[in-house]
A and B are shown apart, each in its own frame.
Chain A
């Protein structure tokens, strides 16, 4: 059974700092990995999707890396801004078989960027 862990559960940084959010998963047989952000009382916004064959994806100030063999992904946020404050969720999709469209989520990292 796939398990996804995100550490730390909460993180507070001063504005302008670069930061890294971590995600680990127990079963390396994944199809892809998605990073989301969730603002309080809102839905999930997809940030980046990395296919299992890829090592990283970039979008603006965000860079997500994937090391499938070790079961790890990181989300790097450059020059953090107060508007980046949100909960960041990592989710993996299994590689094949029954339930291969199910996303398994971590509990998230709550990020606060202090002005």
Chain B
């Protein structure tokens, strides 16, 4: 079974540009999460989808960040316009519906974003 995949693995952009990150969750997982780790800090939650709906976006830093999950499958996270402080590693995770007892969140390899 394929794990969570993320694309691209690395991205270097200039301040003011736009970047779109993609996440493909494990097949059949209803829950999809985005997290971020900035330099020297702990990993922090950004938002949570249940299928195509945003369940919790309380961790989104500001309105320059836009997340979508088309058809409840893959998700994109767009940063527009990017600022220097957006640099970090963006992780995606997925989990099955908790009613199945499978609450483990499985993480992807992350996208390393550097804004210059």
A residues bordering B, Cβ < 8 Å? 4, 31-32, 34, 36, 42-46, 49, 89, 91, 93, 98-99, 101-108
Contacts and interface: CB of A to CB of B under 8 A. Distances in A.
B91 interface: yes
A104 B44 CA distance: 7
B62 interface: no
Q: Which of B45, B93, B109 has the most CB of A within 10 A?
A: B45
A45 B45 CA distance: 17
Nearest to A43: B109
A98 B103 contact: no
B43 interface: yes
Interface of B: 4, 31, 33, 35, 41-45, 48, 55-56, 58-59, 91, 93, 103-110
Contacts of B107: 36, 43-46
Contacts of A105: 35, 42-44
A99 B109 contact: no
A106 B42 contact: yes
B56 A98 contact: yes
B33 A99 contact: no
B105 A46 contact: yes
A87 to B, nearest CB: 11
Contact of B103 (A36, A49, A99, A102): A49
